[in-house]
Amino acid sequence: VLVQLFITGMLLLSKVSIVAGMFIFALLAYRSFLGAAFILPFALISERDKWREMGWHATGWIFLNAFIGYAVPMSLLYYGLSDTTPSYAVIFVNMIPLFTFVLSLVFRMEALQIWSIAGLLKIVGVLLSVGGTMLLSLYKGKTLHLWDPIIVNHHKERHVAEVAGNHLRGTIFLVGSSFTFACWYLIQSKVLKVYPYKYWSSMTTCLVGGLQTSLVGILLRRDKNTWKLGWDLNLVTIIYSGALATAGRYSLNSWVVAKRGPTYPPMFNPLSLVFTTLLDSIFIGDEITVGRYICLFPFSLTFVFLIPIRG
């Protein structure tokens, strides 16, 4: 649940910063390095000299973990977010349990047991997740004017026109991000088998992810002004994303994957849809439609069906 709250705050803050003109790869690099800095003290205290046990085999898996779990999906997520809205982007976060479930079956990391109650509930949960996403994509309905936004974004009118023209591109980015995140949950479980130290694993993943996104960012934009930071909302976004959405999220996910397996954390993703839809409307002013309101129910039912299976 905490991870979903972290994701909600990250999406809202990142959207405002990106619309205001912040370079996406600068945001990714800074938040990843800051996340590594936040995790490092816990690694030094809890796991001390365990970094010495990180061989080349573990290093290779951590490099892949950073690439598949951070550099690729977060880049796609941010570019998709720049073309859409937080409450639309979070819909595709709810596709991650479906992708994770299918991949875990393909790679035989989980048994379906179709004739058991647990197996049937999993299938129902997956169908609800897919159905909710399709319904929300195809049907919007009337706009519900519930309240005025707290934050009035002066870039909003220009951005609405841009979103209308790039919506399909943003959707493709978001689907790619969700699929890559699903792959990451499976890789994460492998990393923890090869190198079972959660803090060092999370810290090095953040560090390598920061290096990867920095390299891509420098290749795309070498202007120093692109990488400068000031005392503004961009800095708040980086600190929040680094401390909670990166350090907190990666550490909590590592712990849960080790305890419950790769399919357990994504089951909580429907909560982020509820959080983001409401807070996006309250703070940024993204309109809540009848279709979006209706789709909260199948996603909530997905949560109800899937969580008891792994509880």
Domain of 211 in residue numbering reads as: 2-122+154-265
Q: How many domains does the chain have?
A: 1
The per-residue pLDDT for range 14-51, each reduced to its tens digit, is: 988 998 889 999 999 999 999 999 999 989 998 888 88
Cα separation values, 45 from 22, 74, 76, Å: 35, 29, 34
Q: Choose between 244 and 138: higher pLDDT.
A: 244
The per-residue pLDDT for range 97-119, each reduced to its tens digit, is: 778 778 877 776 666 666 666 66
Do the domain assignments include residue 160?
yes
Query: Which residue stretches of the chain are H helix?
Result: 2-19, 24-46, 56-66, 72-83, 86-93, 96-106, 117-138, 156-194, 198-220, 233-240, 249-260, 270-279, 290-294, 296-310
Average of pLDDT values for 53-76? 94
| pLDDT, position 308 | 52
Q: What percent of the chain stands above pLDDT 70?
A: 68
Do the domain assignments include residue 134?
no
Do the domain assignments include residue 280?
no
Do the domain assignments include residue 189?
yes
* Burial class of 118 by CB neighbour count within 10 A (0 to 12, 13 to 18, 19+): middle
Do the domain assignments include residue 76?
yes
CA distance 87 to 281: 8
The per-residue pLDDT for range 197-240, each reduced to its tens digit, is: 888 998 999 999 999 999 999 999 988 888 988 888 899 999 99
The residues pairing with 144 across neighbouring beta strands, listed in sequence order, are 288
Do the domain assignments include residue 132?
no
Do the domain assignments include residue 301?
no
> What pLDDT band is residue 158 in, cutting at 50, 70 and 90?
very low
Do the domain assignments include residue 77?
yes
